[in-house]
Amino acid sequence: MEKAKTLEQLRAEKERAETQLAQEQHMLPFFMLAMYEKHGQPLEKIVGNIIKVAVIRPKERPYKTNNFYAVLERQEKLDKEVYDIVHRKEKPAGR
- Model confidence band, residue 34 (pLDDT cutoffs 50, 70, 90): confident
Give the pLDDT confidence score for residue 74 in this predicted structure: 93
Does residue 44 register a pLDDT over 90?
no
Q: Helix 7-35 to helix 43-51 angle, to the nearest 10 degrees?
A: 70
**CA-based torsion, 71, 74, 78, 83: positive or negative:** positive
Does residue 19 register a pLDDT over 70?
yes
Closest among 41, 40, 60, 62 to 50, alpha carbons compared: 41
Global pTM reads 0.38
Does residue 77 register a pLDDT over 70?
yes
Does residue 94 register a pLDDT over 60?
no
